[in-house]
Amino acid sequence: MLVFDTICALATPPYKSALATIRLSGEKTLDILSHIIVKDVSQIKPNMAYFVKLYQDKNRPDEMIDEVVLTFYKGPKSYTGFDTVEFSTHGSMIVVEEVLDTLVKYGARRAQKGEFSAQAYFNGKMDLLKAEGINDLINATSKRAKTLATKTLSGENTKFAISLKTTLLDYMSRLEYFVENQYDDEQLDDYSGELNQIGTSLKTNILEVGEIIEKTKKANRQYQGFNVAIVGEPNVGKSTLLNALLQEDKAIVSPIPGTTRDVVEGEKEINGLLFRFKDTAGLRKTDDYVENLGIERSYKTMEKADLILLASDCGFNDIDANKEVQNIIKNKPVIKIATKRDINTSSDLADISICSTTDALHPLIDLIMSKLDLTQKEESSFLGKREEEYLERIHSQMKQAYDAIYDTYQIDIVSDTLRTAINSINDLMGKCEGQTMEDIYQTLFSKFCLGK
Ligand SMILES: Nc1nc2c(ncn2[C@@H]2O[C@H](COP(=O)(O)OP(=O)(O)OP(=O)(O)O)[C@@H](O)[C@H]2O)c(=O)[nH]1
Ligand SMILES: [Mg+2]
């Protein structure tokens, strides 16, 4: 992949639609344009829309491809930093393919996924935190996920990373002053005082990064959404509960125990968050081969769940005696639901008692929100697993530097560990020293959409 090739791609979904947007970006953009429109390209002003006829060859007006609206963004004031043109064509895939073939004929190359963002990154138009924020926004599947992704675009994450880097650089330069003067007796008294001061400030920085990591973890969980398993013995009303939560007739309900065999799942946005509810086969001892396969899936679904709704219509004694269930739920949030409140007395062991066929489920939803620690909207300027991993790395390197101050009083060790932390901050922002463009593209931008 050569980032600085002139590239083209469809930027809207590849289906028949009213309009389609095609992007062309790179140094040859205007040259390519000069072959396919009659208008003199030197007269085309940036950021203005032009209604033009697009030709396979402007000298052969019988071969018009489409009438389009084109907008020209002059580099470096464009998304990619290169001259860029966006064509808004009629949304036929035949038209789109013809435009792309024509752009390729005059020197463009079909872009790979995320290559426009890669151009922007390598052209210094944005750092990785911003590029990933844009991708997170495109992939958001709930209102909350969208809000979290938008927050990462504000640039607060980059500001924080730069300010932390500046602080650590300041500590390093103060330490290096002492390294240079360490044999000067007059300086020795100041030595431990200065080191202590740096240690105290570093501790505050470590706490701050720790808090940011916690917020990032919460934001990541909220961005991904939550897997909620509905589990219990047969016929207790699990499928009825799934249908009530989804407000949809998704799973088969019947009075015959063992009705649900496979995992039945559905997504629902609640309070702006995405929940994936999974109804499972009722847990019981049985000789039925297929039902046992379903029960195995129930256990696997429980293992992967973020929250378990444990349903029972006759107290929880039997399910509490099920060692396999207890083993899985001991480290997970669980809500014990007494079902069929209209015909049964609730158990003392239940967290909530419901009738899925008639009750409004708000109390259960409130309980789900509090069990998953979702009652407060967490703000985070960082989002994404890569960010979380780098922040943890930086955090542990800062802690190593702190420990080195008090364990060894060895300035060079403190200074070295701070330097490693600074390198990790650079990597977090996307400096990625020692990595080739291809490595960076493969690990990051190849996950983006085509045309982005
Ligand atoms: N009275 C009453 N009946 C209910 C309630 N919830 C479910 N039922 C009934 O209980 C029976 C079993 O419901 P399901 O939802 O199929 O139970 P399940 O736990 O999914 O059962 P399996 O799939 O066999 O494990 C059906 O006849 C439902 O109509 C309730 O709140 N009140
Ligand atoms: Mg069922």
* 116-132 pLDDT per residue, tens: 998 998 888 888 888 88
E strand or H helix that includes residue 291: helix 289-304
Calculate mean pLDDT across residues 272-290: 95
Decide if pLDDT at 436 tops 90.
no
Calculate mean pLDDT across residues 407-425: 86
Q: How far apart are the first and last CA of the chain?
A: 16
Decide if pLDDT at 434 tops 70.
no
**Residue 346 has what pLDDT?**
73
| pLDDT level of residue 187 (50, 70, 90 thresholds) | low
SS3 state at 133: helix
Neighbours of 265 (CB within 10 A): 19
Greater model confidence, 258 or 317: 258
| Cα–Cα distance for residue pair 130/429, rounded to 1 Å | 9
| pLDDT level of residue 186 (50, 70, 90 thresholds) | low
- According to CATH, the topology of domain 226-305+307-371 is Rossmann fold (3.40.50)
| pLDDT level of residue 259 (50, 70, 90 thresholds) | very high
The verdict on the CB of residue 282 being under 6 Å from ligand 1 is: yes
Decide if pLDDT at 433 tops 90.
no
Residue 46, C-beta contacts closer than 8 angstroms, at least 6 positions apart: 72, 73, 74, 77
**Residue 213 has what pLDDT?**
97
All structural domains of the chain with their residue ranges? 7-127, 138-222+381-429, 226-305+307-371
Ligand 1 atom 8 nearest Cα:
237
> Per residue in 25-57, pLDDT tens?
999 999 999 999 999 999 999 999 999 999 999
The CATH class for the domain spanning 7-127 reads alpha beta
| pLDDT level of residue 392 (50, 70, 90 thresholds) | very high
> Per residue in 224-239, pLDDT tens?
999 999 999 999 999 9
The closest-lying atom of ligand 1 relative to the alpha carbon of residue 257 is 24
**Residue 188 has what pLDDT?**
58
**Residue 314 has what pLDDT?**
86
| pLDDT level of residue 413 (50, 70, 90 thresholds) | confident
**Residue 192 has what pLDDT?**
77
| pLDDT level of residue 449 (50, 70, 90 thresholds) | confident
Asked if domains 138-222+381-429 and 226-305+307-371 share a fold, the reply is no
| pLDDT level of residue 181 (50, 70, 90 thresholds) | low
**Which CATH number is associated with domain 138-222+381-429?**
1.20.120.430
Centroid of ligand 1 to alpha carbon of 254 (angstroms): 7
The verdict on the CB of residue 260 being under 6 Å from ligand 1 is: yes
**Residue 300 has what pLDDT?**
97
Decide if pLDDT at 375 tops 60.
yes
Give the tokens for residue 145. Answer: 């996920």
The verdict on the CB of residue 254 being under 6 Å from ligand 1 is: yes
Calculate mean pLDDT across residues 60-82: 94
pTM: 0.82
Calculate mean pLDDT across residues 96-119: 94
**Residue 90 has what pLDDT?**
95
Closest CA to 35 of 7, 54, 62: 54
Ligand 1 atom 30 nearest Cα:
340
Centroid of ligand 2 to alpha carbon of 252 (angstroms): 7
Percent of the chain with pLDDT over 70: 95
Closest CA to 175 of 190, 153, 158: 190
Which class for 73: exposed (0-12), middle (13-18), buried (19 or more C-beta within 10 A)? buried
**Residue 445 has what pLDDT?**
78
SS3 state at 366: helix
SS3 state at 338: strand
The closest-lying atom of ligand 1 relative to the alpha carbon of residue 358 is 31
Residue 366, C-beta contacts closer than 8 angstroms, at least 6 positions apart: none
Look at the block and give the residue holding tokens 């291809």. 438
| pLDDT level of residue 185 (50, 70, 90 thresholds) | low
Ligand 1 atom 5 nearest Cα:
340
The verdict on the CB of residue 278 being under 6 Å from ligand 1 is: no
> Per residue in 301-349, pLDDT tens?
999 999 999 999 988 888 888 999 999 999 899 999 999 999 988 778 8
Per the document, the length of the chain is 452
Ligand nearest to C-alpha 232: 1
The verdict on the CB of residue 356 being under 6 Å from ligand 1 is: yes
